[in-house]
Amino acid sequence: MKNYAIALIPGDGIGRDVTDAAWAVLEAVATHSGFALNGTRFPWSCAFYRDTGMMMPGDGLKTLRKFDAILLGAVGWPAEIPDAVSLHGLLLPIRKEFAQYANVRPHRLLPGVNGPLKATEFDVLCIRENTEGEYAGAGGRVHQGTCDEVAVETAVFTRAGVERILRFGFDQARKRSGKLASVTKSNAQKFSMVFWDEMTRRIAAEYPDVEVKSYHVDALAARMVLAPESLDVVVASNLFGDILTDLGAAIQGGLGFAASANINPGRSAPSMFEPVHGSAPDIARLGVANPIAAIWSAAMMLDHLGEREAAARVMAALEATTSDGIGTIQGKERTDAITAAVLSRLS
């Protein structure tokens, strides 16, 4: 029997509730599918920061490295800890240290979910560069608090970083419909984004079976609203991918349905799986968070671990649940009720 060690970081707010839900589904499908999952919980969060002055211990990354995968709930409590502290203290260090350079986010309507668009038959896979670009953290501030204050944030695009995320995107397109949309703003950003376009054309020559189109990010955003069915795999930089995937979440019915994976394609370190919705402090502790995004993320984790049949079973249970109108409207059912519905359909 295969045995997988999973690091559980429920984090803040609704992250704890949805992680519990996802873990219950994971344990159930593992039991039925003939493998074992051993979860180890870590209390790393904004509450942990208040107690210790750190989002995670100094040896946190070393501790996580021994696991097969990481399941994250949510991080952030901006009323108490600035997002720049919580993000740079936990999430970004994990992504960078473990070379989780491919952020993968699927956008499609689950059965029974009504999105805001007329279009319903779309299936967009967004691939976001996850470790450099606009979120590299290069820059600084001088003369703070004075009228001469200057803030500089430098986007960092390396040849290795751009090439590897583009290749990942091309590989995903080859597995799907053979269509790739590469996103830049090269008419305005004449260095980094022109470089990205050049790399796209160079790598495209190695994938003659993939149809490639380059879009400016504003045009691609409009296309996601007006003609999402025309898109398949979308690959973008860290910032552009971050923004476009929130738009993708909106057209698939909301953040409660938005799953994501932070992938280390080389498998030299664990990958991390998390819902996109964040900690949602406004509904924390109310028991009304939608766990579907977390459960979907857990299915992506199973697929990454090679348990594809189990992943398919989880997705089938999710789709059966939403087909019955459960979990399709925010706040209609409680977290535990949605989880119970998924579990019943899983069995």
- Among residues 180, 278, 260, 171, which one has the least CA distance to residue 220? 180
Q: Which of 190, 218, 324, 332 is catalytic?
A: 218
Are 117 and 225 contacting, i.e. CB atoms less than 8 angstroms apart?
yes
Ramachandran quadrant class, 81 (left: phi over 0; alpha: psi -120 to 50; beta: rest):
beta
Residue 242 annotated among the catalytic residues of the structure: yes
d(CA 43, CA 107): 30
- Angle, CA 262 vertex, CA 258 and CA 265 arms, to 5°: 135
Burial 265-277, CB ≥16 within 10 A → b, else e: beeebbbbbbbbb
68 catalytic residue (yes or no): no
CA 244 to chain centroid, in Å, comes to 12
Of 4, 135, 207, 215, catalytic: 135
- In three-state secondary structure terms, 232 is coil
How many DSSP H helices and E strands does the chain contain? Answer: 12, 12
Of the listed 185, 207, 232, 303, which one is catalytic?
Answer: 185
Q: Cα separation of 329 and 337, whole Å?
A: 13
**Is there a catalytic annotation at residue 59?**
no
Interior angle at CA 164, CA 158 and CA 165, nearest 5: 95
> Are 258 and 252 a contacting pair, CB within 8 Å?
yes
Nearest to 68 by CA among 346, 342, 269: 269
Decide: 246 and 217 in contact? Cβ < 8 Å.
no
Determine how many CB atoms are found less than 10 A away from the CB of residue 29.
26
Out of 51, 83, 246, 324, the active site residue is 246
| CB atoms closer than 10 angstroms to residue 35 | 17
What distance in Å separates the CA atoms of residue 132 and residue 158, rounded to the nearest whole number?
8
Residue of 68, 232, 242, 303 marked catalytic: 242
Please state, in angstroms and rounded to a whole number, the distance separating the CA atoms of residues 172 and 127.
Answer: 9
Positions annotated as catalytic residues are 135, 185, 218, 242, 246
